[in-house]
Amino acid sequence: MKLSILEYEDRIVPLPLFFSSIGLMTGFTVIFPFLGIITLPAAVLIVVSIANGDITFIDEEMNLIKFEEE
């Protein structure tokens, strides 16, 4: 059994290809809201942690060496 697109017989898409594309579209549509719910608060927490100084990009050992030299 084959499924034709827009009633044109020269453009025939096999059913497994059609259903896999429908499944991917449906899956991504379902997953994206959950990704937003998870990643937005995580991003906000990371930004707040950097602003508070909990996350620092300065190596503490190098910082101690610099203070000892002064």
What are the pLDDT digits (tens) for 1-23? Answer: 555 555 656 666 677 778 888 99
Q: Do strands 12-14 and 2-4 pair parallel, antiparallel, or not at all (unpaired)? A: antiparallel
Domain that residue 26 falls in: 2-69
Q: What is the pTM of this model?
A: 0.47
Give CA–CA dist 41/49, Å, rounded.
Answer: 12
Measured at the CA of 59, the angle between CA 55 and CA 65, to 5 degrees, comes to 140
Q: How many domains does the chain have?
A: 1
- Residue 13, pLDDT score: 61
pLDDT for the residue 45? 93
3-state secondary structure of 12: strand
H or E element at residue 35 = helix 15-52
